[in-house]
Amino acid sequence: MKIISCGSVDTVVAPDAYFTGRVLQTPVVSLEQPARLRATLVSFEPGARTVWHTHPLGQTLYVTAGAGLVQREGEPVQQIRAGDVVVFAPGERHWHGASPTTAMTHLAMQEALEGEAVTWMEPVSEEQYSGS
């Protein structure tokens, strides 16, 4: 058993290479192999979002606060809010973030395949974000 005490893991500003806008990340679970689960509490300020990306074994988001937007490539932008769960299939190209006027926090959970949990791609354009 391992207990990770509240406050013992630093919250960091997410890298600009993977996000548009201000995003804070607090690691929850990131264990050494053979464990594969990775979980991070991610807080997006209004208008902030990920870049397009995929996960080799899929991803599950649990929205804990606020309201946001999510899109799977080729489909319309959809609204999400606190209490919603979003499941992306392995390799499904997508993005997610806060709405233009409301912050959003979610718990992002994914498994790593051979040590890799995500493949980052290009930024989401303003037109894609607004759904136009």
Coil/strand/helix, residue 41: strand
Q: How confident is the model at residue 6 (pLDDT cuts 50, 70, 90)?
A: confident
**pLDDT (0 to 100) of residue 26:** 96
Tokens of 123: 């930024």
Q: How confident is the model at residue 77 (pLDDT cuts 50, 70, 90)?
A: very high
What is the per-residue pLDDT across 18-75, written as a single tens digit (0 to 9) for each?
A: 999 999 999 998 777 787 899 999 999 999 999 999 999 999 999 999 999 999 999 9
Q: How confident is the model at residue 2 (pLDDT cuts 50, 70, 90)?
A: confident
| Residues linked to residue 38 through DSSP beta bridges, in sequence order | 30, 110
Helices (H) and strands (E) in the chain, counts: 1, 12
Distance CA 119, CA 14 (A): 15
The Cβ of residue 65 has, within 10 Å, a number of other Cβ atoms equal to 14
Q: Angle 23-26-30 (CA atoms, 0-180°, nearest 5)? A: 125
Tokens of 89: 């299939």
Tokens of 43: 């807080």
**pLDDT (0 to 100) of residue 73:** 97
Please report, for the chain, the start and end positions of each structural domain, with discontinuous segments joined by +.
Answer: 12-123
| Domain 12-123 architecture | Sandwich (2.60)
